[in-house]
Amino acid sequence: EGKGTEFKYTERDVMLYNLGIGAKRTDLRYVFEGNDEFQVIPTFGVIPPFDAETPYNFDDLVPNFSPMMLLHGEQYLEVKKYPIPTSGRLISKARLLEVVDKGTAAIVKSGVTTTNAETGEELFYNEMTVFLRGCGGFGGQKKPADRGASTAANKPPQRAPDVVVEEKTTEEQAAIYRLSGDYNPLHIDPAFAKMGGFKVPILHGLCFFGIAGKAVYEKYGPFKNIKVRFAGTVNPGQTLVTEMWKEGDKKVVFQTKVKETGKLAIGGAAVELV
């Protein structure tokens, strides 16, 4: 475990995050600090841990590591306590969970606990999986361990979805989203994106995770946890279609497709409601 990385934020950071995942000027509770219900959309819980110092480097874990070949594979977030403060000082501590050998690719999973530095209370727990193309074949374990909700397959049921929400991203979506802390050039620099194998800079996984999570939150309310697999890339400007199935009292299974191509962008996804 690392020694902990501080993350300070203000209401301005909250509004910038909300705008980065598609909040509109008319969504006053997301974009106006003077609104009575001013709040941060709960998927914000992935932001404070993002820069947490890790007690390892990818180079030490897998062969042939290249930042251009790194993709975000999966994300799991637990929100331990509501309401989420709209400003504060948090501490995140990261640890390595596992390294998996997928043959041509490798998967690295880390777990990050985020506490409120003022109260000592745990606020978020995240598990992030990165998919490292070209870094497999080193003879490591072949399958990730079962970690309950964070690794569940969440296969959508056969019936038609209970709710469908469509949201068009803007051409500037990644350029705005990155200001919340993920400055990976893959999402802004055409030359870098090209070296990674993409025609144009692609959208951050955590940006379309936020857009889909916002749609689920607005329909079903706050969640205890949320898990997604990034199944396909999204280009800024494309339209996202999120389909939701209520399963029992507390669970919503969902998936997100790109309208223009019909391809899956988020699969294996679910929330457990508060």
Which parts of this chain interact with ligand HDC (CB under 6 A)? 71-74, 102, 107, 110, 128-131, 143, 182, 184, 186, 202, 204-205, 229-233
Q: Which residues of 73-102 are buried (b: 16+ CB within 10 A; e: fewer)?
A: bbbbbbbbeeebebebebbbbbeebbbbbb
Which CB, 120 or 139, lies closer to ligand HDC? 139
Minimum CB–partner distance for residue 63 and ligand HDC (Å) = 17
Three-state secondary structure along 128-191? EEEEECCCCCCCCCCCCCCCHHHCCCCCCCCCCCCEEEEEECCCCHHHHHHHHCCCCHHHCCHH
Which CB, 66 or 233, lies closer to ligand HDC? 233
Q: Is 73 an annotated catalytic residue?
A: no
Which CB, 2 or 161, lies closer to ligand HDC? 2
Catalytic residue, chosen from 21, 91, 107, 202, is 202
Catalytic residue, chosen from 182, 204, 213, 266, is 182
Phi-psi region at 154: left, alpha or beta (left = phi > 0; alpha = psi -120 to 50): left
223 token code pair: 């969640």
**Strand order of the sheet with strand 251-258?**
5-9, 88-101, 106-116, 122-132, 70-79, 223-230, 264-273, 251-258, 239-247, 163-168
Residue 46 DSSP label: G
80 token code pair: 């331990």
Minimum CB–partner distance for residue 23 and ligand HDC (Å) = 20
* Nearest Cα to Cα of residue 187 among 208, 168, 167: 208
Q: Is 205 an annotated catalytic residue?
A: yes
Residue 1 DSSP label: -
Which CB, 151 or 220, lies closer to ligand HDC? 151
List beta partners, residue 247: 251
Catalytic residue, chosen from 72, 187, 204, 267, is 187
Minimum CB–partner distance for residue 138 and ligand HDC (Å) = 15
Which CB, 6 or 33, lies closer to ligand HDC? 6
Catalytic residue, chosen from 205, 210, 213, 268, is 205
How many angstroms separate the first and last alpha carbons of the chain? 29
Minimum CB–partner distance for residue 121 and ligand HDC (Å) = 24
Minimum CB–partner distance for residue 18 and ligand HDC (Å) = 19
Contact 105, 13 (CB under 8 A): no
Minimum CB–partner distance for residue 120 and ligand HDC (Å) = 25
Which CB, 48 or 73, lies closer to ligand HDC? 73
> Residue 97 half-sphere exposure, CB side, CA atoms within 13 Å?
22
- Residues classed as catalytic: 182, 187, 202, 205
